Amino acid sequence: MIAITLPDGSVKHFDAGVTPMDVAKSISEGFARNVISASFNDLTIESTTPLTEDGNLVLYTWNNDEGKKAFWHSSAHILAQALEQLYPGIKLTIGPAIENGFYYDVDFGDKTISEKDLKEVEDKMLEIARGKHEFSLRESSKTDALDYYKKQGNEYKVELIENLEDGTITFCDHDTFTDLCRGGHIPNTGIVKAVKLMSIAGAYWRGDEKNKQLTRIYGISFPKQKDLTEYLELLEQAKQRDHRKLGKELELFTFSQKVGQGLPLWLPKGAALRERLENFLKKAQKKAGYEMVVTPHIGQKELYVTSGHYAKYGADSFQPIHTPAEGEEFLLKPMNCPHHCEIYNSKPWSYKDLPKRFAEFGTVYRYEQSGELHGLTRVRGFTQDDAHIFCTPDQLDDEFKKVIDLVLYVFGSLGFENFYTQVSLRDPEKPEKYIGSLENWEKAEKAIINAAEAKGLDYKIEYGEAAFYGPKLDFMVKDALGRSWQLGTIQVDYNLPERFELEYKGSDNETHRPVMIHRAPFGSMERFVAILLEHTGGNFPLWLMPKQVSILSLSEKYEKYSQKVLDLLENDEIRALVDNRNETIGKKIREAEMNKIPYMLIVGEQEEKDGTVSVRKHGEGDLGTMTPKAFSELIQQAVKDESKEFNV
């Protein structure tokens, strides 16, 4: 007998050889019908894998991320089989599950496939799925695996196998199809009820531009047709909320080929929006004891060699700037932190002076590949709401918690209420990716976990996601469409203080190294505005809107009264405009609605006579008639309710 421990802590005993599906059936037949994947002792296995020893078993359904991963990975196999049947002689490479769906990279040789062909491939996939073919994993020797693909002439699979150790190679079979695979599949193809192939793109083999370009086909699948219908409706909503579309409509930003790819140009309305966001954070930072600094856009190459950023970004970033002086090289700065270290180094410090909190809205530059650029979310020049805290080890815990409070204040003020946190730690299997001693890494990681627990944060640990110089706490926000975005980040760093030889004199009169905290609640202004646009659909919080009120005059006769209302609102620091165009009031209202202006004030003969305005609210309609002063007080109270003061 073996002991199987389930996630709730209960232990069940079975004969050796029992499968995860057998265990599921012992719980209930209804539950077993929904089980599509499993893991045993943290290793992904099949639902039919025999269990021969004691261990921890987790059973996954479609409602688990791991279940979806197995579902979409299995769907990639079905896609590959359909492509082989429709396009004989193609060469398959890899087909993983991704965050939403799956893809397969294929070398079509002299054959071609286009978007119009995808419906035929979908139909073939559903035909295969209806066969309810079981997925079966089998082991293979390295010699047999190489022989199989050499006979096919598939150099891609041969290359993959050559990098694998003998004894670790497995194939997955279903129906007449077989593929090199590590495992993690649903029980049979019949569970896949709905498929949509989303797009076709080019992809270099192994992501290397020197290799051949393959055809990548993206798809998504579901256990119910209803799920696919809802997903496609969500995608349509996402198109309407696309920040690139809204940014153009609201005249916030633009791009120019002459200026360069990935270098956004902020238009007046967008610049004013950014300024309000900056002032909002600066006000909170001032209360929290931060001091603003300003650093240049470039620095000597040696600065980034010292920090480690040159080794990390140098080869793949903007190339050095050469000056007339022989051997002198500068770089566009990829990060602000080396500059802040040198600000700290500009004078001696005592433990009585710490913590020092230096903040800057600093623009940095990284040469992202052109194919990876995407609106404001992936650019080559972006401004970080950066700050670096230099503190004693004894102050680290308290300072980290204070930064958490600031991030939560930012999220609350901007309507991001659905989020979780991720503790991003180093990959213990790849120490070469990181700088610094193991002792310092362990101290930094422990500090982050302790702070997250003390603040009661809902967090999960992800190994291998740390920055190269230190672990971090990342805030993962879900927007109005349920999509996850990484926003604020806080990092603990023992390494840069060592590299820059930062010091302070302690109470023992000896010199010590400070600990450094990196933090950016917005992350970058560009990406934050993009996410905020898509989250709100352009309906920003009232305090942030470029224009809060549009005064709509029924005709030019009421221009003087409209101006009087405008002056009153502007005196109360309410952002308003007057629409005196010779257009119908209906058209003016429609355009104000399209421009997401929160409030419209209609001014005509009766309003001028009574000294009132007729109020409409965006998306809601008429709110009735009131005096301009009463309306101003309404707006001011609404702004006050939205933008609470930051309490230290």
Annotated binding site for Zn(2+): 337, 388, 518
**Tokens matching residue 131:** 């066969």
**Tokens matching residue 299:** 């620095």
CA-to-CA distance for 529 and 536, rounded, in angstroms?
A: 10
Are residues 94 and 104 in contact, defined by beta-carbon separation less than 8 angstroms?
yes
- Write down the catalytic residue from 472, 527, 535, 547: 472
- Helix segments in 315-437, DSSP class H: 337-344, 396-413
- Write down the catalytic residue from 133, 185, 241, 388: 388
Are residues 75 and 69 in contact, defined by beta-carbon separation less than 8 angstroms?
no
Among residues 564, 558, 563, 568, the alpha carbon closest in space to that of 604 is found at 558
In the block, tokens 């422990």 appear at 446
Are residues 450 and 473 in contact, defined by beta-carbon separation less than 8 angstroms?
no
CA dihedral 106, 112, 115, 120 (to 10 degrees): -90
In the block, tokens 């650093």 appear at 295
Question: Residue 7 phi/psi, 5° resolution?
Answer: -55, -30
Kindly give the pairing relationship between strand 484-493 and strand 515-520: antiparallel
Identity of the residue numbered 100: N
Among residues 184, 70, 185, 175, the alpha carbon closest in space to that of 127 is found at 175
- Write down the catalytic residue from 105, 107, 179, 386: 386
Are residues 187 and 134 in contact, defined by beta-carbon separation less than 8 angstroms?
yes
Is-catalytic flag, 388? yes
Question: Residue 135 phi/psi, 5° resolution?
Answer: -85, 130
- Write down the catalytic residue from 518, 519, 535, 588: 518
Among residues 35, 30, 42, 41, the alpha carbon closest in space to that of 20 is found at 35
CA-to-CA distance for 29 and 42, rounded, in angstroms?
A: 25
- Write down the catalytic residue from 172, 337, 341, 391: 337
Is-catalytic flag, 384? yes
In the block, tokens 């970058």 appear at 524
**Tokens matching residue 558:** 């009421």
Kindly give the pairing relationship between strand 321-322 and strand 329-332: antiparallel
Q: How many Cα atoms sit within 13 Å of 98 on the Cβ side?
A: 12
Question: Residue 577 phi/psi, 5° resolution?
Answer: -145, 160
**Tokens matching residue 169:** 């190679």
Are residues 301 and 331 in contact, defined by beta-carbon separation less than 8 angstroms?
yes
Is-catalytic flag, 337? yes
Contacts of 479 (CB under 8 A, 6+ apart): 416, 485, 531, 534, 535
Residue 348: count of CB within 10 angstroms of its CB? 10
Angle, to 10 degrees, between the axis of helix 155-162 and the axis of helix 142-152? 160
Element (H, E) at 531: helix 525-536
Is-catalytic flag, 110? no
Residue 601: count of CB within 10 angstroms of its CB? 25
- Size of the chain, expressed as the number of residues it contains: 648
For the annotated binding site, the residues are 337, 388, 518
Peptide bond into 268 cis (omega under 30): no
Is-catalytic flag, 366? yes
In the block, tokens 């089989």 appear at 81
Q: Enumerate the β-bridge partners of residue 601.
A: 551, 615
Element (H, E) at 212: none
Would you please indicate which residues are annotated as catalytic (active-site) residues?
337, 366, 384, 386, 388, 472, 518
